[in-house]
């Protein structure tokens, strides 16, 4: 069964550095999402993406964040200048056509030092 994949599984970076988290959604899915989960807390919505543009974004998704679908398969989340509080697990998710079930990737653990 196809799954959403994410790379890397763990990223360690210095405060102020840029990071790019990568996701490959399931191939026929049309809606894509990024969520984050700070350790021990709930999953929080960051941004949704459809038809090559942002559909919705949360208050967390400020100017330091951006998303891109540079080709037909990858969906990336960029954090321009990381802060300590960006340390979290970042999950990508996608939805198949005509359905609303979100399938999550395995996550990227981001550690900002």
104 binds another protein (CB under 8 A): yes
For residue 68, give the nearest of 59, 60, 78, 58 by alpha carbon. Answer: 78
For residue 31, give the nearest of 7, 6, 56, 65 by alpha carbon. Answer: 56
107 binds another protein (CB under 8 A): yes
DSSP 26: -
The residue to which tokens 């090559």 are assigned: 52
User: For another protein, which residue of 12, 15, 38, 43 counts as binding (CB under 8 A)?
Assistant: 43
Stretch of 14-22, 68-76, 78-86, 98-106 lying at the interface with another protein (CB under 8 A):
98-106
Q: State the residues that interact with another protein by CB under 8 A.
A: 31, 33, 35, 41-45, 48, 50, 55-56, 58, 91, 95, 100-107
């Amino acid at each position: 069964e196809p799954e959403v994949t994410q790379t890397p599984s763990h990223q360690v970076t210095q405060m102020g550095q840029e990071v790019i988290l990568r996701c490959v959604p399931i191939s026929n899915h049309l809606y894509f999402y990024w969520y984050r989960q700070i350790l021990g807390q709930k999953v929080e919505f960051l941004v949704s993406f459809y038809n090559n543009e942002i559909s919705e974004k949360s208050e967390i998704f400020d100017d330091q964040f951006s998303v891109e679908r540079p080709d037909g398969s990858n969906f990336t989340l960029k954090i321009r200048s990381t802060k300590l509080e960006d340390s979290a697990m970042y999950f990508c998710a996608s939805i198949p056509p005509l359905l609303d079930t979100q399938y999550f990737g395995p996550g990227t653990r981001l550690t900002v030092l």
